[in-house]
Amino acid sequence: MFRFKQFSVDQTGCAMKINTDGVLLGALADFKQPSSILDIGTGTGVIALMLAQRFPLAQIDAVEIDEGAAATAAGNFLNSPFSERLTLYPRAFEDLFNSHPEKKYDLIVSNPPFYINSLQSPRDKKNLAKHAGDGFFDRLLQGMYTHLTENGVCWLILPPETGLLVKKIAAQYGLHHQKTINLRSFKADDAHREILILGFNDWQTEEEQLVIYDAPKVYSKEYQEVLKDFLTIF
């Protein structure tokens, strides 16, 4: 059980536990007063829960293909203060989109599997959570294109090399690269993750940096500021 300031997250049966990628996406993903949010690949449900805390007027859908993780996320939603605004769909995102073609979202977020054509682990659940099969990002971005509101935005967190592929595919669907937030462990390090913001509006691309540590095991002030409303250690 991982305890946040306003809710708790059971991680039972989830291959991907709560990590820095997820909590940063949950804390940073933004849209001015969204009424509808979708979390693709919700896992434990932590990102959806963080967004429910941040946007008290939003209805939030979350989709998870892994049955065990979906059951855990559903329980986390039910036991949270935001349960009436959270809906869990235990299926692939493609199935959700096909069964609800009318759904549109102001904000779509995803911490997706990102290892492409790489050596896979022998553990099936870990493969499902971390490895993207052929055509995964094409299907993901096509679905985002179809189910995003006119001024909506998509936020994804990825390794930089995967981000290059995603930006190319997004452009094919008319999703413009609006902003990148580069995540670095230490100031002198190269970015190990990037948060990509995509949308229909063709704005000049912005770029920001976020450094996680000032020194080993010492979190930076900016990292603490981003997560102070969520993590009990701040």
State which residues form the domain around 143.
2-227
Confidence of residue 217 (pLDDT cuts 50, 70, 90): very high
Q: Mean pLDDT over all residues of the chain?
A: 92
- Helix ranges (DSSP H) in the chain: 20-28, 46-54, 67-78, 93-99, 124-130, 136-147, 160-172, 221-227
User: Rounded to whole angstroms, how far apart are CA atoms 108 and 62?
Assistant: 10
Number of domains present in the structure of the chain: 1
User: Rounded to whole angstroms, how far apart are CA atoms 38 and 110?
Assistant: 8
Question: Is 55 within a domain?
Answer: yes
Asked if residue 155 lies in contact with residue 28, where contact means CB atoms within 8 angstroms, the answer is: yes
Question: Is 171 within a domain?
Answer: yes
Q: Are strands 193-199 and 176-184 parallel, antiparallel or unpaired?
A: antiparallel
Overall residue count recorded for the chain in this entry = 234
- Kindly provide the b/e burial profile for residues 181-220, where b requires at least 16 CB atoms within 10 angstroms of the residue's own CB: bbbbbeeeeebebbbbbbbbeeeeeeeeebbbeeeeeebb
Asked if residue 198 lies in contact with residue 158, where contact means CB atoms within 8 angstroms, the answer is: no
pLDDT single digits (tens) 6-39: 999 999 988 888 999 999 999 999 999 999 999 9
Question: Is 26 within a domain?
Answer: yes
> What DSSP character marks residue 205?
P
Question: Is 233 within a domain?
Answer: no
Residue 219, both tokens:
């979190």
pLDDT single digits (tens) 60-96: 999 999 999 999 999 999 999 999 999 999 999 999 9
Question: Is 232 within a domain?
Answer: no
Whether 126 has a pLDDT exceeding 80, the answer reads no
* Residue 113 pLDDT: 78
Q: For the domain that residue 119 is a member of, what is the CATH number?
A: 3.40.50.150
CA distance from start to end of the chain: 18
pTM, 2 dp: 0.91
